[in-house]
Amino acid sequence: MNCSDIIKKLYACASEKHKTNVVKMGIPKESSIGVSTADIRRLARETGRSDELAFELWETGYHEARLLAVLLFEKKQLSAADIERLMEDVKSWDLCDHMCKNLIIKRNDYHQFIMKWIHSPRTYEKRAAFTLIASAAIHDKGISDETLDDYLNLIRENSQDEQEHIKKSVSWALREIGKRDFTYNEKAIILAHELKAEGNKTQIWIAKDALKELENLVKAEGRTRLISADSKMGEKAK
């Protein structure tokens, strides 16, 4: 399939319900098609990986075409400059997170983007830095304690931004580090209390939001990471 064929397929899968949801996230109506994530993933499996096709889809400007493009890129063949160029076009939290979780975190050099974007004045670059921290805490099995400690320091030093899409990602990053084990649960809780006691309005919000989960985590049999006590109770009830 070429780019034109795929756009036609996306329109064939579209619904007004999904388009309304996309527009609510701030995507301009003219850039939205209205396709579910499930349909996008199905189409990605049918299409197969191709950097050339992915870039063509990305350049259409359609939100759903860009979500699909992320799944078609050959992760190891893209340069760091390619990633930077793609991120410049990101204008929504869902595309930001989608790129981080399905493309950037799977690269060996994801850490460099955290260190660069954590200081960015651009909303979605900064959100991406915290989203990558959260994703690394979940998925990078070889991540060191030293790196996690560095990430906690980054959270401490860069959590003042009051923008909703950034402060929510900071809370997410802190919570995911705290789910690693009881040692990091304690470290995350200590940091949250420090932010709550000494931080600005945004840091206090982040601390309270994170503590709701961090102080309710338990170890579950068969799980390498901690889970909420409520989740464990739900599993027992099944």
Which string of b and e fits 59-77 if b means at least 16 CB within 10 Å? Answer: ebebbbbbbbbbbbbebee
| pLDDT at residue 228 tops 70 | yes
Calpha distance 81→187 (Å, rounded)? 35
CB 83 within 8 A of CB 59: no
Assign 156 a pLDDT band (cuts: 50, 70, 90). Answer: very high
CB 156 within 8 A of CB 174: no
Residue among 64, 59, 8 at smallest CA distance from 32: 64
pLDDT at site 232: 60
- Report the percentage of the chain scoring pLDDT > 70: 97
pLDDT at site 39: 97
Could you read off the pLDDT of 18-74 as tens digits, one per residue?
999 888 888 888 999 999 999 999 999 999 999 999 999 999 999 999 999 999 999
CA dihedral 67, 109, 178, 148 (to 10 degrees): -160
Token pair of 63, please? 């939100």
pLDDT at site 113: 98
pLDDT at site 238: 44
Assign 198 a pLDDT band (cuts: 50, 70, 90). Answer: very high
Could you read off the pLDDT of 84-101 as tens digits, one per residue?
999 999 999 999 999 999
- Helix H or strand E encompassing 179: none
The pTM is what?
Answer: 0.94
| pLDDT at residue 234 tops 80 | no
| pLDDT at residue 237 tops 50 | no
| pLDDT at residue 139 tops 90 | yes
SS3 58: helix
Calpha distance 24→41 (Å, rounded)? 21
| pLDDT at residue 233 tops 70 | no
Say which residue the tokens 């078609």 belong to: 72
Which string of b and e fits 12-24 if b means at least 16 CB within 10 Å? Answer: ebbeeebbeebbe
